[in-house]
Chains A and B, each alone.
Chain A
Amino acid sequence: MTRVRVTAPLSAARPATQSREAAVESEVGQLFVRSLIRTQLRLALVVACGFLLILCAFPLLLAAVPGLAETRVAGIPFDWLLLGAGIYPVTGLSAWLYIRTAARNEARYRDLAEDK
């Protein structure tokens, strides 16, 4: 009795791998990949720097405006509210913006890579 290995045809199962292989082989493909990496890195750095700037601005704001830290909102001191809760929406918003833009960059790359 002979054993036969049953596999799906490669071309049908992994079209992505093929287009990715093609991208490595050709000059133009590599150019697209390099530009995608550069765009994504720039995006990540911009979002990270923006977030860190806002993060630094919070304690500076508290230091710059006297009395602000002691102001109470619903019984909670304002500095606790700002540092303990206010930073999280900024984090979420940065993440959401990044994901949207990163996906758009990838869609643009895909269009280029398929058109060529």
Chain B
Amino acid sequence: MRPGTATSPRTSDLAVNPAVGLVALVVVSVATAVIGFYGLRISRTTGDFYVASRTVRPWWNASAIGGEYLSAASFLGVAGLILLSGTDALWFPVGYTAGYLMLLLFVAAPLRRSGAYTIPDFTEARLDSRAVRRVTSVVVVVVGWLYIVPQLHGAALTIRITTGLPAWVGSVAVVVVVCLTVVAGGMRSITFVQAFQYWLKLTALAVPVLFIVFALAGNGSAAVAPAAVNPTGLAPAGPYQNISLLVALLFGTLGLPHVLVRFYTNPDGQSARRTTLIVLGLLSVFYLFPTAYGLMGRMFAPDLARSGQADAVVLLLPGQLIGGTARDLLSALVVAGAFAAFLSTTSGLVVSLAGVISQDVLGGSVRGFRLAAVISAVVPLGFALSTDSLALAGSVGLVFAFTASTVCPVLLLGIWWRGLTDTGAIAGMVTGGVLCGGAMVSGAALGAAGTPFWLAQPAAWTVPAAFAVMVLVSRATRQRIPQTMARVMTRLHTPERPLATER
């Protein structure tokens, strides 16, 4: 109970006991691998590998979706950003959750009813065109790789701060464990692993928060700083940034490949909707805790923001506010939860990328799936090792902007608009990809300080641009509306079997 140490600037005081961090990392990795290998015994067919034969129950599936979705950005980044920018950053968890509402409203049931395995499968079936399939595959692989990189950065940060080992050990450890589990068991075992990891992550955040609250209530210590104090003196974000961020998060979620592939594991459209409702509940509960960490970090450890360690607030706060054995145990729990986050999101992405790559390039066999899984994990590892980490929530926000400008328009228009053509879809995806990708590259080149606000948060103009191009080009090429359109639209929107809800 030494809240006084919170003001100490010495980083040696902040570090978690190295052995504790290492043990936590090893335990989570082994548990992940064991559940993965257990899954191996029951997944035997190609269908099991890709989508768990579509027999996963809603609660399991929802926990798995939650486990997969709550990434490094949610576990570490949200609290870090709240510590840095206060209530402005509360839009991140709100956007991450509301994205699921949009997914439920516009995508969940029709996508399940389309009967396709991957997003490229869907666009090919809807637009009857191999070219659209190829463009979608490229976009999906880019999105997946972009999204894996911040996970590996998060792992590197965690390892550096908690064990003192070189940062690359974290990234490599995540890639090795993910490759082993995915290669061993495919989607079925991944479902168990992910579901386990959602609950692990929730526990890892909730227990320390409760401990801290009780400790603070017990000794009645006053906050070091009130919540309204801005530890870094950064200017608050304007309405443009908040709106653009919300656009990216709301529309980005419904194009994330690892989230969408989960919907194929529901038995029918209505159960896909029910699963999404459960996911919304799980996310809402989860995000209360990073918010609490951010608020407590602002009050008790504002020096973390000033020393550039904001993303580590979740890892360091329990060690700062709690003393004795409880301190080591809670730190271990938090490190374990962080690794669960990196492992689950990365393996979800690797599974969906491997599905796309193996079907398009390697012929769709189990062997091809395994090879593709290794490819999809190793490429972003190279990228992560050669780049520096940005603020985690911010870099994941950019990935959402990219998804919202590419995959989201083709999904929304494909599901709801009869007039979409293959040419329109390709033109829209390319426009969105080039604009948003260009903004990301020039933002990285200019550096955080030199980037104008509209380049730093591009979604507010790249998403409408992609939609507009897709609609206009489809209008201009109206004769290319596929013959199969009416049949596919019927399939997407009509309920599967009579009384499906009464099963």
CA distance A78 to B126 in the complex (A): 47
Question: 1/0 per residue A19-35: CB within 8 Å of B?
Answer: 11001100001100100
Interface residues on A, range: 35 or more
Instruction: Give the number of residues in B that approach A within 8 Å (Cβ atoms).
Output: 42
Do residues B90 and A16 form an inter-chain contact, with CB atoms below 8 A?
A: no
Which chain B residues border A96 with CB–CB below 8 Å?
277
CA distance A89 to B90 in the complex (A): 15
Do residues A44 and B280 form an inter-chain contact, with CB atoms below 8 A?
A: no
Question: 1/0 per residue B71-114: CB within 8 Å of A?
Answer: 00000000000000001001101100110111011100100000
Which chain B residues border A94 with CB–CB below 8 Å?
101
Do residues B227 and A41 form an inter-chain contact, with CB atoms below 8 A?
A: no
Which chain A residues border B495 with CB–CB below 8 Å?
16, 106-107, 109-110
Most interface-central of B109, B498, B501 (chain A CB within 10 A):
B498
Which chain A residues border B273 with CB–CB below 8 Å?
99, 102-103
Do residues B291 and A84 form an inter-chain contact, with CB atoms below 8 A?
A: yes
Please give me the residue from chain B that is nearest to A86 by CB atom: B94
CA distance A36 to B130 in the complex (A): 29
Do residues A91 and B97 form an inter-chain contact, with CB atoms below 8 A?
A: yes
Stretch at the interface among B281-289, B399-407, B432-440: B281-289
Other-chain contact of B498, A76, A87, A114 (Cβ < 8 Å): A114
CA distance A104 to B91 in the complex (A): 33
Q: Given the known A-B contacts A80-B291, A95-B276, are A20 and B494 also in contact in the complex, defined by CB atoms under 8 Å?
A: yes
Q: Given the known A-B contacts A37-B416, A77-B228, A91-B101, are A20 and B491 also in contact in the complex, defined by CB atoms under 8 Å?
A: yes
> A92 an interface residue at 8 Å Cβ cutoff?
yes
Please give me the residue from chain A that is nearest to B416 by CB atom: A41
CA distance A88 to B97 in the complex (A): 8
Other-chain contact of A33, B246, B291, B493 (Cβ < 8 Å): B493
Stretch at the interface among B11-19, B59-67, B482-490: B482-490
> A83 an interface residue at 8 Å Cβ cutoff?
yes
CA distance A44 to B90 in the complex (A): 25
Chain B interface residues toward A at CB < 8 A:
87, 90-91, 93-94, 97-98, 100-102, 104-106, 109, 227-228, 246, 270, 273-274, 276-277, 280-281, 284, 287-288, 291, 295, 416, 486-487, 489-491, 493-498, 501
